Structure 1
Amino acid sequence: MTTSSSGAPAAARVRAIVTGHTRGLGAALTTQLLQRNIDVLGVSRSRHPPASSLASELAGGRFVETELDLSDTASLAGWLSGDALARFVAGADLVLLFNNAGAVEPIGPLDTQDAAAVARAVSLNVAAPLMLSSALASVTRGAMACRIVHVSSGAARNAYAGWSVYCATKAALDHHARAVAQDANAELRICSLAPGVVDTGMQATIRASSAERFPMIERFEQLKASGALSTPDAAAAKLIDYALSDAFGSAPIADVRDLPSA
């Protein structure tokens, strides 16, 4: 697919869905997609405040928000049973889905994990992205191209003490992408893409933990102190550039740190 200087496919109408769009990497993705003239549907537990820099985009109709707790699978299934998703993508040539929302908690050894927190993490980190991906593939098939980005993590590919739930849920997205890539759907491309270590609220949650619950906490404190964390804006630009590139989907698993420079 040929791209324009903005990174969007030339002469194509592109729309994007971003989960967890109100802060951190999700907010950066939303802002940059809009700057590239790509309409955005944001799905999150809350909406942007009226004073948000995106208020003008909301007023202009290029940015649509849906307030939905993605860890509540029944509510998500109810929303997906309606026509909101189909209405948003109607008329597009290409639709992007950024499955960005996620939770690192519960942090700690197996015997300290709260059952409700485990269920919420699995619902948010795994069930929601799989449900949204399936629904989008259904409404776009035969009508437009579709690209699905699972926002992955190094934790999907390496085991860390205290992160058994997070590692398992992110690994599930990686393997989902591998399996979907085997499907006979030429219009759909998918990649579980790790964005590097990004300075977001999730990183603050990790650093607020304890060595007893997460033995590697010192490493993450050092990353913050040394300025080694990527900014949400920098990470978002790499994710979007790759999602719009001809190379996207050539491999179901990738890391932005391993991608060739533009």
Structure 2
Amino acid sequence: MNYYIVTGTSQGLGEAIARQLLSKGNHVFCISRSENKDLMEAAQGEGVELEYYNFDLSNVDRIDALMNNIFGKISKEYIESIALINNAGVVTPMKPIELCNSEEIIQNIQVNLTAPMLLTSAFVSHLDHVKADKRVINISSGAGKKPYFGWSNYCSAKAGIDMFTRTVALEQEHKEYPVKIISFAPGVVDTAMQGKIRKSSKDNFKDLDRFIKMKDDGALYTPQYVAEYVLQLLTQDLVGGEILDIRNM
């Protein structure tokens, strides 16, 4: 059996990834703040096991219990491959740091960085002695390498995800059955997040015009296009700790 745990599946890239995983022999666990009923119906129509967890990843103190629940439904002796795709993310708050309140900062870091770290920790722990193809794909961003005015939280979290990826890969090098972990920047994808970015204030986000122009010029990737690349990463040979960018693939 092939198992997949995907976060942020209510829409956008997460939904597109989950849809492309709806094949016989796969068991998909979806995590997002709201249920995607269309996705659940599609899985039923394909005869694929899909389990949905309505869960807000900012509730970081409950993530261990969530993963214990998921792994309670996984038959470790029958795992052929298993992957965690940390896709969920938030770009807000989009404004200079002095205008961000404590709650906004904390929520951004919890969803974008703390939650993927906790999910990965539980994933590695549960599978430490399991002989199978084990992978973690962290959806990162070019913003982890380049600062954007008004994105201090988002840029910092994505830079953290990249370094976390590299560090866990280093820790896995000596393992008998290592988890292969990589970071993948999907480029600018036409999702609801991009809609929020285009509605932001130019005073708070200096690159606003550039993002509006990319939409107007049809320069955004579709979620389905990017999801195809993610699926390739689930099967091709990987070097743990790689920081990949779709624009260089």
Alignment partner, residue 4 of structure 1: none
Alignment partner, residue 119 of structure 1: 106
Confirm whether residue 254 of structure 1 aligns to residue 241 of structure 2: no
The DSSP-based 3-state class of the residue aligned with 2:36 is coil
Tell me how many residue pairs correspond in the alignment: 243
Range 216-225 or range 110-119, more displaced: 110-119
Output the aligned Cα RMSD.
1.7
The DSSP-based 3-state class of the residue aligned with 2:98 is helix
Supply the AA of the counterpart residue of 1:30: A
Q: CA 1:236 to 1:89, structure 2 compared with 1: closer, same or farther past 3 Å?
A: farther
Percent of pairs with identical residues? 33
Alignment partner, residue 157 of structure 1: 145
Supply the AA of the counterpart residue of 2:153: V
Query: Structure 1: how far apart are the matches of 2:86 and 2:97?
Result: 26
- Structure 1 runs of 4+ aligned residues shifted over 3 Å read 58-61
Confirm whether residue 54 of structure 1 aligns to residue 22 of structure 2: no
Q: CA 1:89 to 1:42, structure 2 compared with 1: closer, same or farther past 3 Å?
A: farther
1:115 is displaced (CA, Å) by 1.2
Q: CA 1:251 to 1:180, structure 2 compared with 1: closer, same or farther past 3 Å?
A: closer
Alignment partner, residue 210 of structure 1: 201
The DSSP-based 3-state class of the residue aligned with 2:28 is strand
1:51-102, Cα deviation, whole Å (9 max, x unpaired): x15315247451111111111112223323x342242363212111110001
Query: Structure 1: how far apart are the matches of 2:9 and 2:88?
Result: 8
Query: Structure 1: how far apart are the matches of 2:106 and 2:240?
Result: 33
Instruction: State the TM-score, normalizing by the size of structure 1.
Output: 0.88
Range 71-80 or range 61-70, more displaced: 71-80
1:12-69, Cα deviation, whole Å (9 max, x unpaired): x3211100111000000000011475321001111123xx153152474511111111
Q: 2:63 aligns with which of 61, 67, 76?
A: 76
1:214 is displaced (CA, Å) by 0.3
Q: CA 1:94 to 1:258, structure 2 compared with 1: closer, same or farther past 3 Å?
A: same
Q: CA 1:94 to 1:121, structure 2 compared with 1: closer, same or farther past 3 Å?
A: same
Confirm whether residue 23 of structure 1 aligns to residue 11 of structure 2: yes
Q: Which segments of 5 or more consecutive residues in structure 2 lack a partner in the other structure?
A: none
Confirm whether residue 130 of structure 1 aligns to residue 117 of structure 2: yes
Instruction: State the TM-score, normalizing by the size of structure 2.
Output: 0.92
Confirm whether residue 235 of structure 1 aligns to residue 223 of structure 2: no
Alignment partner, residue 180 of structure 1: 168
Alignment partner, residue 88 of structure 2: 101
Q: Which segments of 5 or more consecutive residues in structure 1 lack a partner in the other structure?
A: 1-12
Range 184-193 or range 200-209, more displaced: 184-193
Query: Structure 1: how far apart are the matches of 2:193 and 2:201?
Result: 15
Supply the AA of the counterpart residue of 1:142: H
Contact 1:20 1:43 in 2 (8 A): yes
Q: 1:199 aligns with which of 167, 190, 197?
A: 190
Query: Structure 2: how far apart are the matches of 1:204 and 1:36?
Result: 34
